[in-house]
Structure 1
Amino acid sequence: MEDSLDKLYKNQGLIYKYILYVVTVGCIVFFFPRGGKFKYEFQKGKPWQYENLYAPFDFSIRKGEAEIAEEQQAIRERQIPYYTYDTAVVEEVSQNFLLDFQESLEDEQLSDSQKGRLTRIGEEVLVELYQNGILQKASGRDTPDDLYLVRNNEASRIRADALYSLSQVDSVVRGILNTRRAEQFYPLYQEVLFNALKPNVTYDAELSEKELADELSRISTTRGNVDEGKLIIARGEVVEAENLNILNSLKAEYESELWSENSQYFILFGYTILVALVLMMLFLFLQKYRPAIYRNNVKVTFIFFNVLLMVFLTTLVVKYDETYVFVVPLCILPLILKTFFDARLGLFVHVLTVLILGFVVPNSFEYTFLQIIAGIVTILTVSELYKRANLFISVGQITLIYIVGYFAFHIIHEGTLEDINIYTFGIFILNGMITLFAQPLIYIYEKIFGMISDVSLLELSDTNSRLLKELSNKAPGTFHHSLQVANLAEAAANAVGANAMLTRVGALYHDIGKMNNPTYFTENQVTNVNPHDDINPKESAEIIINHVIEGIELAQKNNLPDRVIDFIRTHHGTTRVYYFYKKELENNPEAEEADFTYPGPIPFSKETAILMMADSVEAASKSLVNPSYPVIEEFVEKIVNGQMKSNQFLNANITFKEIEMVKKVLKQKLTNIYHLRVEYPE
């Protein structure tokens, strides 16, 4: 049982990678569409490159979106609207008219027969006006030529000119009065009628929209059928017009969930194998070419999380509306990975992600081509993100590549610029604007995954930061030493292609532990009093060695990144405090060497190895009495070769050639620092 637990504990990192691998594959496949994948790739205007294609089953020819939209527009244009006839208004108007007209007749000197005749004429006017009704004009809506008039729940189609408007009332009244030879009574009718009349025919928006929806729903999305076994397209035939529509119909039918329902599990199994292969390539790449990243589960999780995030966003957009697939800022992926790791890894992961998305997106060849080219441009152009202008320039170049690529594909497919969609250019510009979100995203990732970017390193390199300010006040000699080491280490890192910014920051903070006991370190002693004279060599060595431990604690307390703390931890490796060790041997020949040895670990990266060399050389150079180039050359060789002899660089990924380059830079820099001046006369 104990052996099993011990084995499990030793392999927990590997077990975690297996779990991460399986979960990522499962999540990606879960995001994928459930339909099958059409096995043929074709493009408009291109010849059919496969064997003759026969219909594998019966299917309907689907209409294109433009064709359906044209039919819908035709239905809207010929739609006959519905209007409602309100009988309650007619009854109300009739009652009001008769009452008001009777009152008006009381003031006239007329016989009862004349009053009765005028009343009947008024009723005749009302009957004429409300036979089909008086139309109420709808603001912002033109009156159609024909309409359906709904009266008593029955609709009848009539001409619009069969309805009256309030502006036509005057001519109707005059016409009837002239016919009845009562035109002299027009003023009497005019006053009463215009006060009583109201429109009673209004536009019924709800019923009209319902009927329109019914008409639109009856539009057939297909036209004609293709029988099983019928030749669809022959080898070498150009894909265009009718056969393009048939191929698109076959593809849609093939990829539909309904058709592939019985084979759905086989399709998912196929997707799983392909995605698993892609992610396996990523693991193998990390294991062979980036072993340090492969061993770090946090970094591996970070990479897989970003791949999964891009797949999720893209599939989400495709399910919503595939037109917006290029809105997803896929170039953020190589940009971020280059920021935290390196360009080669960023491009490799980007290409693998695009291959995975090729299963999901429409026009997969165009998508893959544009995204890979844009990813290459991202890797080539994005550098020094801590300079604000660089990101804007890179995003502008990425957007331009998208636009030029789309422009070229459109010309290839259509052979003309007439139908080019300017709206797509807006999508690419929006993609670029979203890509600018990389800056705050980098900051978020730093906090979540505990990683560090050049932007944060630039902030840490500011000598006015609180911790470095405190170092310059408490231990000014150490602060000056750290600045000198930073300059030496940065120059050496540039020479061998290491991370110069990280090396400089590590050098600035590597001795912060000396703040606790600054006077015990010679660079901070401003008088001839040396506190080591009052204590034994073993205690002195303990104080010197403890500056590493105390520096780590101080760095953790001030939330310095782990990659910076690594420089504090390794800058002395497992070397000895040789001065006090020799002094102890004089008094005690049986002195334990372990009491005078730094706890380590030894440097485990190119940057930490460079710091160890620069730190030792700079500190020891203060003892040179008459520095000259031969003296400095011999001095540097002695110190670095001594470190190599004690196996301090055994775990660092630095070659002999690179060490020689570092030594060359250190010699040149020290020669410049200690250059001889002409002795001026007094």
Structure 2
Amino acid sequence: MFKLRYISLLLFFVFVSAFVSQPTSMFEEEISLGEVSDKTIFAPRSVTYVDKEATEQLKQEKLSSIKDIYSMDETVSETIIQDFDQFIKELILAKENLAKSNSEEEKKPSKNEIISNLHNPYNLSEEEVNKFLSLTIGELEKMNDIFQKELELIFESGITEGNVESVRKNFQELKNNTNFYLFFSKEIIETLSHHLSNQITPNFILDEEATNKKKLDELASVGDVVIEIKKREAIVNIGDRVNEIQIKKLEELGIINQSYNYEEAFMQLPLFILFFGLFYIYGFTFKKEAFSKMRTFLFIFSSMSVVIVLTNVIPESFLNFSLFLPLLTILMIFTVFWGRSFIIVASIVLGALVSPGDLDYLLVSVTSGFLLAVGFKPNSKRINILFSGVILGIVLGLSELGISYALSAAIHIDTSISLLACSFIAAVLTVGLIPLVENSLGLVTSVRLYELSDPNHKLLKNLMKHALGTYTHSIMVGNLAEMAAEEIGANGLLLKIGAYFHDVGKLKNPHYFIENTTPDNNPHDLLDPYESAQIIRRHPLDSIEMCRKYNLPEPIIRLIASHHGDSYLNHFYERAKESNPETNKEDFRYQTPTPSSKEEGILLLADSTEAYARFLSSSDIDRDDFARRIESNILEKVEEGILRNCSLSLHDLDKITKVFVNYLVNSNHERISYK
């Protein structure tokens, strides 16, 4: 989150936005002190005067809002993990020494001596040490790897004095994770989790120097704001003899004697830092996948800065298009790409920064955000975005009429018309910009995904027509993957569509894949195992080639590319070994990347599990045996290391396994013989 390049770019956008937020106009009113005005001049925007008398109060409020800063002490986690690593390694060494003492005649240290000299940071009893020594070296190494990762995860999240007890308690709950029982006994897990949890100490330390520095910086940036000029407030009425107060107000509004107000720009810097900073933290906390990609990060913040620039630089005289069109367009684009929660936060930030102090503009922005969040449907077609624009414009226009009449007993019909027109034009622009943004950022919207889910898509129709078994398999994989994704918070819709297309490459040789053949008509019986392997290994690459030909989005291409990882075709390898024991196993390995995201890992597991379940469904096995074999198949994939580069945790895998087993057992119950 706090990488220098991201912080530097954030500060750049903050300064650009803050300095262009000052009102500029190519058109000034010609009016001077003492002159009788021949028109009524309204405030085009809300501005504020500086009031030094409120300075101290504002500073105190700022101080009370500043939170303490904590810094991470990495030596805490390093010490605990190193102690554990040394403990396990000495256990392994002890086992090796005990083995030597049993096999060699010369006098070796006794078991009690070895145990007494063992590095024992947890003060384990001799009985407890003997339990660990009963494990194999392989089990000790696996224990070292698994528990080190668990320790790293909890320390990465940060532990303070306030939450250390809950962290310890949660760590002890590892004993309830059934995945561990695949490798170790319950007694071993309970002993280790208990002693390790007692070693956990806070690694987030209060940084008093940084906290005080932040307080000083915030205090130095506080400005004194006193008097507010409201938008549409009558500054000079027709027939008024213009006085000094009115001249000052007109100057503050940039209507006369306009010059760039550097002081005001610097005074607004804290506001921009605050809102951009909070939005930055929100993004890296709740939308990390989007914000951690530089292209997406740049697009989001540059778009917001462009809205601020256009709104403040272009004159407002043209139906107020410059006031609303940029805002509504970017809000609609944000909604389509990043969803409901994102658009609500973005609308608040833009409403506060585009026209600082303008409550009317903030209301329009926030209302638009909430309406788009409520009205947006992920399964919408592009035409529905246009309808949404019209509805948004009508609601905003009517709201503007009602609010303006309630506040000033006047109806501003021009603003309502502007809101309606801008909403529709923004919707048109959004529809046109979606493909450009998708291609530029390498993203895919839910709108595009739902279009691809149409069974009339040419690739899917060809799959149904020429490889019905593969088509059925793909639909089943899509259902499995979507349910598993929803269970762990991954992108279910993307996975579902990716699964539909993941095997389209089989169209080149459909009859060479088992789901499209029958046991008595298997073409591989007539082929050399090497030839069979080449055909099977080729289909992910063929799928990528065909999907690119039909302009499928890159996120789907990435899913397809890794759905077999670098696994082996063991069936053909074993056949080849029958005729040549020196067969190179690497000749039977997929030459595709391993999964690097949760979605890619889920698709790989769903694909292999569905195929294995189809094989089991023809066997005469009971329901419980079916479930056990499915679990065993998933565990084998994990142990093979195919998922080594993706971010699926043991907890995620446990949830995915339960979803798969439940779905497949129930969907195959008619074909399973109960005993």
TM-score normalized by structure 2? Answer: 0.60
**Equivalent position of 1:430 in the other structure:** 421
Q: Distance in 2 between matches of 1:391 and 1:628?
A: 54
- Is the 2:393–2:424 Cα contact (8 Å) retained in structure 1? no
Deviations 1:9-32 (A, max 9, x none): xxxx98699569747854774474
**Equivalent position of 2:161 in the other structure:** none
Does the C-alpha gap of structure 1 residues 320 and 257 become closer, same or farther in structure 2, counting only changes over 3 Å?
A: closer
- Is the 1:395–1:435 Cα contact (8 Å) retained in structure 2? no
Does the C-alpha gap of structure 1 residues 335 and 646 become closer, same or farther in structure 2, counting only changes over 3 Å?
A: farther
**Equivalent position of 1:602 in the other structure:** 594
Number of aligned residue pairs: give it: 472
1:643 is the counterpart of 2:634: no
- Is the 2:393–2:422 Cα contact (8 Å) retained in structure 1? no
1:662 is the counterpart of 2:662: no
**Equivalent position of 1:238 in the other structure:** none
**Equivalent position of 1:67 in the other structure:** 237
Q: Distance in 1 between matches of 2:417 and 2:327?
A: 16
Q: Distance in 1 between matches of 2:234 and 2:340?
A: 43
Deviations 1:441-496 (A, max 9, x none): 32443355443222222222223222223333443322222122223323433444
**Equivalent position of 1:366 in the other structure:** 360
- Is the 1:326–1:431 Cα contact (8 Å) retained in structure 2? no
Does the C-alpha gap of structure 1 residues 591 and 573 become closer, same or farther in structure 2, counting only changes over 3 Å?
A: same
Q: SS where residue 676 of structure 1 aligns?
A: helix
**Equivalent position of 1:254 in the other structure:** 252
**Equivalent position of 1:169 in the other structure:** none
For residue 558 of structure 2, the aligned residue among 549, 563, 566 is 566
**Equivalent position of 2:446 in the other structure:** 454
- Is the 2:385–2:427 Cα contact (8 Å) retained in structure 1? no
**Equivalent position of 2:509 in the other structure:** 517
Q: Distance in 1 between matches of 2:331 and 2:585?
A: 49
Deviations 1:498-518 (A, max 9, x none): 433322210111012222333
Amino acid at match of 1:223: R
**Equivalent position of 2:243 in the other structure:** 225
1:33 is the counterpart of 2:28: no
- Is the 2:561–2:593 Cα contact (8 Å) retained in structure 1? yes
Q: Per-residue deviation at 1:572?
A: 1.4
**Equivalent position of 1:557 in the other structure:** 549
Q: SS where residue 459 of structure 1 aligns?
A: helix
Q: Per-residue deviation at 1:611?
A: 1.8
Q: SS where residue 433 of structure 1 aligns?
A: helix
- Is the 2:344–2:369 Cα contact (8 Å) retained in structure 1? yes
Does the C-alpha gap of structure 1 residues 317 and 629 become closer, same or farther in structure 2, counting only changes over 3 Å?
A: farther
Does the C-alpha gap of structure 1 residues 537 and 332 become closer, same or farther in structure 2, counting only changes over 3 Å?
A: same
Q: Distance in 1 between matches of 2:548 and 2:11?
A: 32
- Is the 1:307–1:353 Cα contact (8 Å) retained in structure 2? yes
Larger Rg: 1
Q: SS where residue 591 of structure 2 aligns?
A: coil
For residue 441 of structure 1, the aligned residue among 433, 447, 450 is 433
Q: Per-residue deviation at 1:630?
A: 1.4
Q: Distance in 1 between matches of 2:518 and 2:481?
A: 27
Deviations 1:272-322 (A, max 9, x none): 675466545544444444333234233223323432443344235554368
Q: Distance in 2 between matches of 1:540 and 1:677?
A: 30
- Is the 1:569–1:601 Cα contact (8 Å) retained in structure 2? yes
Which segments of 5 or more consecutive residues in structure 2 lack a partner in the other structure?
26-44, 52-56, 59-225, 227-232
TM-score normalized by structure 1? Answer: 0.59
Amino acid at match of 2:571: Y
Which segments of 5 or more consecutive residues in structure 1 lack a partner in the other structure?
1-12, 43-48, 51-55, 57-62, 72-221, 227-245
Q: Distance in 1 between matches of 2:320 and 2:294?
A: 37
| More displaced stretch, 651-660 vs 667-676 | 651-660
For residue 306 of structure 1, the aligned residue among 296, 303, 308 is 303
Q: Distance in 2 between matches of 1:14 and 1:582?
A: 52
Q: Distance in 2 between matches of 1:336 and 1:327?
A: 14
Amino acid at match of 1:671: V
Does the C-alpha gap of structure 1 residues 583 and 527 become closer, same or farther in structure 2, counting only changes over 3 Å?
A: closer
Q: Distance in 1 between matches of 2:526 and 2:329?
A: 60
Q: Per-residue deviation at 1:585?
A: 4.7
Q: SS where residue 528 of structure 1 aligns?
A: coil
For residue 494 of structure 2, the aligned residue among 494, 502, 507 is 502
- Is the 1:384–1:390 Cα contact (8 Å) retained in structure 2? no
User: Percent of pairs identical after alignment?
Assistant: 28
**Equivalent position of 1:392 in the other structure:** 387
Does the C-alpha gap of structure 1 residues 612 and 402 become closer, same or farther in structure 2, counting only changes over 3 Å?
A: farther
Superposition pairs of residues 73-472 of structure 1, within 5 angstroms: 223-226=241-244, 246=245, 249-256=247-254, 261=259, 264-268=261-265, 275=272, 278-316=275-313, 318-320=315-317, 327-328=324-325, 330-359=327-356, 364-387=358-381, 392=387, 396=391, 399-400=394-395, 403-404=398-399, 407-408=402-403, 410-411=405-406, 413-414=407-408, 418-437=409-428, 438-472=430-464
Q: Distance in 1 between matches of 2:607 and 2:370?
A: 38
- Is the 2:397–2:420 Cα contact (8 Å) retained in structure 1? no
Does the C-alpha gap of structure 1 residues 580 and 29 become closer, same or farther in structure 2, counting only changes over 3 Å?
A: farther
Q: SS where residue 243 of structure 2 aligns?
A: strand
Does the C-alpha gap of structure 1 residues 28 and 468 become closer, same or farther in structure 2, counting only changes over 3 Å?
A: farther
Pairwise CA RMSD: 4.2
Amino acid at match of 1:306: S
Does the C-alpha gap of structure 1 residues 469 and 258 become closer, same or farther in structure 2, counting only changes over 3 Å?
A: same
Q: Distance in 2 between matches of 1:501 and 1:649?
A: 21
Amino acid at match of 2:427: L
Q: Distance in 1 between matches of 2:556 and 2:321?
A: 42
Amino acid at match of 2:608: S
**Equivalent position of 1:122 in the other structure:** none
Deviations 1:598-624 (A, max 9, x none): 334333333333322221111112221
- Is the 1:333–1:346 Cα contact (8 Å) retained in structure 2? no
Q: Per-residue deviation at 1:364?
A: 0.7
Deviations 1:239-289 (A, max 9, x none): xxxxxxx4x64332235487674x745555556675466545544444444
Q: Distance in 2 between matches of 1:601 and 1:257?
A: 62
- Is the 2:393–2:423 Cα contact (8 Å) retained in structure 1? yes
| More displaced stretch, 594-603 vs 316-325 | 316-325
Amino acid at match of 1:604: S
Amino acid at match of 1:344: S
Q: SS where residue 320 of structure 1 aligns?
A: coil
Does the C-alpha gap of structure 1 residues 589 and 289 become closer, same or farther in structure 2, counting only changes over 3 Å?
A: farther
Q: Distance in 1 between matches of 2:319 and 2:421?
A: 15
Does the C-alpha gap of structure 1 residues 381 and 665 become closer, same or farther in structure 2, counting only changes over 3 Å?
A: same
Q: Per-residue deviation at 1:357?
A: 0.3
Q: SS where residue 520 of structure 2 aligns?
A: coil
Q: Per-residue deviation at 1:577?
A: 1.9
Q: Distance in 1 between matches of 2:22 and 2:378?
A: 36
Amino acid at match of 1:67: N
Q: Distance in 1 between matches of 2:401 and 2:496?
A: 43
**Equivalent position of 2:485 in the other structure:** 493
Q: Distance in 2 between matches of 1:406 and 1:500?
A: 42
- Is the 2:340–2:376 Cα contact (8 Å) retained in structure 1? no
- Is the 2:337–2:445 Cα contact (8 Å) retained in structure 1? yes
